[in-house]
Amino acid sequence: MIHSPKTPDHLDLATRYREILNGAGRILFDRCFVSELVYGPLHRGRSRITWSEALDLAESVITRVGMFVHLTAPPPVIRQRLLARDGEVASLEEVAALVTGYQRVFSTLADYTKVLTLDTTVLELPSAG
């Protein structure tokens, strides 16, 4: 399992993820280049990963017979969970923008690879299909 902390701006983010994905064994990312596609534009006005690089990395996930899992919930629920966990949280508008950003990114990736989206406010598991 790899938790990806913020990569310093001077490092090539795509290469970092490509090297990890080229490694042996099973890999589980807790956040990854997908987060850069969301947070980059919102916080810095641009992503350090291009869509071309993202799709190349998604292809590496496909080659590994992997998939993306998108856990989501309505923005007010996410905001309340973050507040309970951290004691402080961004505005509801910023949380909503992040949720929209993740929906957009995962929707685009779903055109190229497997994406399982789960609303964490729903208790039952999705049916197989």
What would the pLDDT profile of 68-119 be if each residue is shown by its tens digit?
Answer: 999 999 999 999 999 999 999 999 999 999 999 999 999 999 999 999 999 9
Question: CA-based diameter of the chain, in Å?
Answer: 44
Altogether, the residues listed in the chain come to a count of 129
In the chain, the domains with their CATH numbers are: 2-119 (3.40.50.300)
Instruction: Inform me whether the pLDDT recorded for 128 exceeds 60.
Output: no
Q: Express each pLDDT in 1-35 by its tens digit.
A: 666 666 677 778 899 899 889 988 888 888 889 99
What is the four-CA torsion angle of 104, 74, 118, 86, rounded to 10 degrees?
A: 100
In this prediction, residue 129 carries a pLDDT of 52
| CA–CA gap between residue 11 and residue 8 (Å, rounded) | 6
